Structure 1
Amino acid sequence: MNRHGPPNRLKTKNGIKDYSSVGTFNRNDAANLDKQQTAFRQRPVSIQVITGVGNHSRGQAALPTAVRNFLNENGYHFDEARPGVITVRPKFHHR
């Protein structure tokens, strides 16, 4: 029979470990926690949408035009540096 009870387990909230119930907190734990928190704060600067140029389409490619129309109608900023690739800057909502 185990008189010591269940072992201390780390609780997580949103993927971040809760060390409040653990007796020790070492340098590696601090580094791991910092990495986890940094990952939650990082956001992509741009997203590339691959539309293709329509080489296998009859007539003109429909997808690039549809994507451009969607982005314009919804107020996204985007660039077309290469044919078939649209680089979109995401809109972020501040909490």
Structure 2
Amino acid sequence: MAAENSGDANLFDQCLAENAIVRDEGETHEGLAAIKRWKAETKRKYQHTVFPLTLVEKEGKIVVTNRLTGNFPGSPIELEFVFTLGSDKIVALEIRS
């Protein structure tokens, strides 16, 4: 969440695997470089912050319910970030309502 809120896409190097996959808003972003471009673009577009509300483990994944506040219709909203972890980094993230 610190990387998400910082606006510094380079911080994702510390938590995402090189071959990570992110699914959000009907799009799939594959690989660390593509994810960092997408993250920088969404931060510019929405100027959002993320506040975690709950965290549970479900079916081998980590599900974090977050409150997102920013420059978009309906703000603030709650979204689930569903993380799949590899040995020491995130290998997949699905963002869903």
Q: The TM-score by the shorter chain falls in which range? A: under 0.3
Q: Which has the higher strand share?
A: 2
TM-score by length of 1: 0.24
Larger radius of gyration: 1
Report which structure shows greater RCO (CA 8 Å, sep ≥6): 2
| TM-score (structure 2 length as normaliser) | 0.24
